[in-house]
Amino acid sequence: MTNNQGLGFAKLGRDKGVHCSAFEDAQKDGRVDDFLKGLMPQILWQNGSHRVVKNDNETISALIDCGKIDWEQTNQAAIDSTGRTQYTDSEVVSEMPRGEKLVGLVEVIFRNYGCHFSDVDVDKKMVEYGESMISPFFQTKINEIFPEFADKHPNGNHWKDKKDKWCYVAFRRWRDGRRVDVYRYGRDWNVDWWFGGVRKPQSLALGH
């Protein structure tokens, strides 16, 4: 099995609270085949060259082939492409950060922090794990690729506008089915929410 074939079986660990990838260590040491034989990964969903892998109860990895993403879409077109019921402020949608245009296979680590968090607390947790939050545009594309992801893993993203006001985008299933919310105000995120980031210093779609 080649290294590229094995990317979907990345097993994640922690070292003093900082996220690390045992798979990357195996790549460096030339132990990929032996490493993969010892894994029992749970692939939750696969869509072409994209896949979502459950690592444990607190982390899920979305392995995204960024060359297959339409980075030229407008923000509103990206929201429309999710096929979700929209509860949005059009002005906030238009201002949604897009981040960098990414290439290659990118691992996005979604975490559930297990308790209520403010917007400031979420950013602090990202720093604690040595990760940077992906851009709202990139997260929208992930939810387009895997619409079922937010059914049991509601996921959100946030940013500050030019007037230093919090804005957010949130994907979830509610009474009216799959929905996306984009509004301008700060919020407390309850125990259900997941947040996506990438490990530094990997080139990434930054939200800030």
User: pTM for this one?
Assistant: 0.78
- The predicted pLDDT at position 157 comes to 98
Question: Which amino acid type is present at position 71?
Answer: W
> What number of CA atoms fall less than 13 Å from residue 67's CA on the CB side?
4
- The predicted pLDDT at position 20 comes to 42
- The predicted pLDDT at position 126 comes to 95
Provide the terminal-to-terminal Cα distance of the chain, rounded to the nearest Å. Answer: 37
Which of 147 and 57 is assigned the larger pLDDT?
A: 147
Reference 99, options 51, 64, 67, 134; nearest CA is 134
CB atoms under 10 Å from CB of 38, counted, come to: 10
Burial category of 134 from C-beta neighbours within 10 Å (exposed 0-12, middle 13-18, buried 19 and up) = buried
